[in-house]
Amino acid sequence: MKKVMTALVATAFLASLTPTASAETSKGEPDFAQDRVLVKMKPGKDEKDLTNRYDVEKVLDLQEWKVLKVKAGDAKTMKEKLIGEWDVADVELDYVVHSATYWSDDRCPTPPPKPFPGPRPPYFDKLNLLKAWEKTLGSKERTIGLFDTGVDLEHKGLIDKLVSGYDFVERSSNPIDQNGHGTYVAGIMAGAANEELGSSGIDPSAMIMPLRVLDKEGVGYTSNVLEAMYYAVEKGVNVFNLSLAGGEYSDAFQDTINYSFEKGVVIVAAAGDDGGEKAVFPAAYENVLSVGAVDQEFKPADFSNYGGWVSLAAPGVGMETTARSGGIVTDLKGSSYSAAFVSGLTTLTWSTNLQMSNKEVIERLLNTAKQIEGTEKYTKYGLINPYDAIFY
């Protein structure tokens, strides 16, 4: 029966990660960079001719897509001009993205270290996570890309879990978290099992590559994220955690996701915290595991977005994790942390058979998820099931 189910899910795999036709999209134009556009040339055409004609400069190469710098305030006008050019296939604005769960400096206090031992978060027991850990504690051969505000590079629960990353905001090799959101997400995904702090990530063995694409206010641009994704593919990262949202549908973003997926990456994204049914990107792109939040009773969280475009639900209320500048913080809520949970579960599941493809790992997660009675409209597959995913 299990083989039959796997075959059925494999046949419908791509369709399962495709937004439903009825999904509502955002109304109104979102914020975008005023001094640049993303351009895709037609096959065989060189962007040099285009840049010379319009006296603009290529500042970033994203494979088929190029980021062109234009005069400040001219982005929208330049888009309209370029879209009609004979050698241009597509033009897009560089949309603003932000952490799916908003945080700012004044909302990210540094809590004191929690004494050990303390009570475990309820989802550890309710989801049989401890029993799943009896089979595997993960593998250092799997790395999760943290596309976020950076990370606390010196945190006791993270310092031994980090591989070299990059700051795509300030262009440095030191992706320090100046906000807090990234450190929170990192600890849930793959924080070390640290007895002094009394905390552990879902996969306490997987490594984390911090890729800072959001600034100290938790805000960035699509081009930052896409550049970081190509970088992470080149570095061999296995799972991308995108606890961010913003902008409208982007062919450049979808192309980058498709490229990453075909290179064997699992892409996980937060559904967002607007409490509505509208499709939110990047979670609503094809080839993405989109994740909504449930509360401590495994009921849909009132703040979480929902709908047939959301793949899975995971805990997103009462979350305990690493805090910026040391210690841990408790009682966080947001779909950012639900996505982090699924990213950790993805590498934990992968560790049971490192020969599995990204598609096979996703099939396990989808096959073992369980719909919560009466909440079928909230997600396509239901609540994640760590124990069954590990013992599949």
Judged against a pLDDT cut of 90, whether residue 153 lies above it is answered with yes
Which of 183-197, 296-310, 374-388 is predicted with the least confidence, judged by mean pLDDT? 183-197
Contact at 8 Å (CB) between 386 and 127?
yes
**Residue 20, pLDDT above cutoff 60:** no
- The mean per-residue pLDDT over the stretch 280-306 comes to 96
Residues classed as catalytic: 148, 181, 336
Residues 6 or more apart whose Cβ sits within 8 Å of residue 181: 99, 101, 103, 108, 148, 149, 214, 218, 243, 336
pLDDT grade, residue 28 (50/70/90)? low
**Is residue 22's pLDDT more than 50?**
no
Query: Tokens representing 319?
Result: 């979350």
pLDDT, residue 266, reads 98
How many Cβ atoms are within 10 Å of 383's Cβ, its own excluded? Answer: 21
pLDDT score recorded for residue 147: 98
Section 67-87 average pLDDT: 96
- Residue 119: predicted pLDDT: 60
The CATH code of domain 100-390 reads 3.40.50.200
Give residue 199's pLDDT: 75
Tokens of 219: 């805000």
Question: Tokens 């399962």 sit at which residue?
Answer: 16
DSSP 105: G
What is residue 102's predicted lDDT score, i.e. its pLDDT?
A: 58
What local confidence, expressed as pLDDT, does residue 146 receive?
98
When pLDDT is cut at 50, 70 and 90, the band that residue 118 belongs to is low
| Structural domain spans, the chain | 32-95, 100-390
Judge if pTM exceeds 0.75: yes
Do 359 and 366 form a contact (C-beta atoms < 8 A)? no
pLDDT at 176: 97
Torsion-angle region of 54 (φ positive above 0: left; ψ -120 to 50: alpha; else: beta):
alpha
The predicted-structure confidence for 232-285, as pLDDT tens digits, reads as follows 999 999 999 999 999 999 999 999 999 999 999 999 999 999 999 999 999 999
Paired tokens of 207 = 């490594």
Strand partners, 282: none
CA end-to-end span of the chain: 12
Whether pLDDT at 392 is above 80: yes
Q: Which residue's entry shows tokens 């997926």?
A: 261
Which of the residue ranges 1-15, 132-146, 308-322 would you say has the lowest mean pLDDT? 1-15
Confidence of residue 316 (pLDDT cuts 50, 70, 90): very high
Please report the pLDDT score of residue 390 as a whole number.
Answer: 97
Architecture of domain 32-95: 2-Layer Sandwich (3.30)
Residues 178-231 pLDDT 10s: 999 999 999 999 999 876 666 789 999 999 999 999 999 999 999 999 999 999
The kind and range of the H/E element at 266 are strand 266-270
Q: Is the pLDDT of residue 364 over 90?
A: yes
